Amino acid sequence: MTSHIPSKLIERHRAGQEHFVSDVDETGLGAVDAVADESAPASMWGEAWKTLRKRPLFWISLTIIILAITLALFPGLFTSLDPRFCELNNSLADPAPGHPFGYDKQGCDIYSRVIYGARASVSVGIVTTVMVVLIGGTIGAAAGYLGGWLDSLLSRITDIFFAIPLLLAAIVFMQMFKDNRNVAMVITVLSLFGWTQIARITRGSVMSTKNEEYVTAARATGASRWRILTSHILPNAAAPIIVYATVALGTFIVAEASLSFMGIGLPPSVVSWGNDISAAQHVLRTKPMVLFYPAIALAITVLSFIMMGDVVREALDPKAKKK
């Protein structure tokens, strides 16, 4: 048996066989397998952003949402016409230079009304969503974190409101206050009956998060309940709340349009997509494009929020990703 192996070359003089052994690598396996750990670990939102920025659907929906918000805030950037200036001589007139969508039955420019209609419709959706998240999030977080009799009480109250259909309740209340109809009234009614789903989602998310190890560690260090809830539980329980709120925003825009279409939402003096769709239903057979333009603006805006909710859900919840 050979006790020493040459470092360069070993030749075994067997018929048709030659074995070569290279020099011993002086680099240790520990250095080869070492991974740099100086960088901070990626957060849940950081990983979600890496996924979102690769999705074309995210950029498409984000572009439409930004455009809708810009229309609501700065309609003057897109048209210089007054949406309330109408001439009966132009009633149902065809498109003309400077008036690409033509005129409605009252002789108003449809293009300017579509642009300015975004203000009421989008503002109702955004403000209602904020109010719903505040109301439902507070109730759900308190019920899920504190538990006990308070959880039972708040859950039963939520069940009572949950059993009332949103649109039906809005119709009844708007009829009761039909003499005081305005944007604030629509937001109040939709917020009053639209918070229940957010409350349920927040309660479940908080209950699943409050038993995590980092919450136990924070409790062991003497952190107060308020600090644990706001600094540790809610930031890690916010993903499903944000996803639902994004989709619900489109739902509230549709709810406002539905109420206005039935004549019990915003007053006719307010320019909104719902009011324009309602006014155009009488000429649907003769001039369908009068209804088409505000309807397509409403549909595209709502669809953008639904698509945004879907892509955000897939980014934040790996189990929900499509195979």
DSSP state of 232: I
Give the model confidence (pLDDT) of 89-120 as tens digits. Answer: 888 888 888 889 989 988 899 999 999 999 99
Q: Is the pTM of this model over 0.85?
A: no
Inter-residue long-range contacts of 116-119, CB under 8 Å, 24+ positions, other chains counted: 116/75, 116/79, 116/83, 116/271, 117/83, 117/271, 117/272, 117/273, 117/275, 117/276, 117/294, 117/297, 118/68, 118/71, 118/72, 118/75, 118/273, 118/297, 118/301, 119/71, 119/72, 119/73, 119/75, 119/271
Give pLDDT, residue 319: 56
Q: How many other CB atoms are found less than 10 A from the CB of residue 144?
A: 25
Give pLDDT, residue 200: 92
Give pLDDT, residue 39: 52
Instruction: Please list the ranges in the chain whose pLDDT falls under 70.
Output: 1-45, 317-323
Give pLDDT, residue 234: 85
Give pLDDT, residue 18: 58
Q: What's the CATH code, domain 46-71+109-321?
A: 1.10.3720.10
Question: What residues contact 302, with CB distance under 8 A and at least 6 apart?
Answer: 250, 251, 253, 254
Token duo for residue 91: 């009633």
Tokens 């949950």 -> residue:
162
Give pLDDT, residue 285: 86
Question: What is the gyration radius of the CA atoms in the chain, in angstroms?
Answer: 30
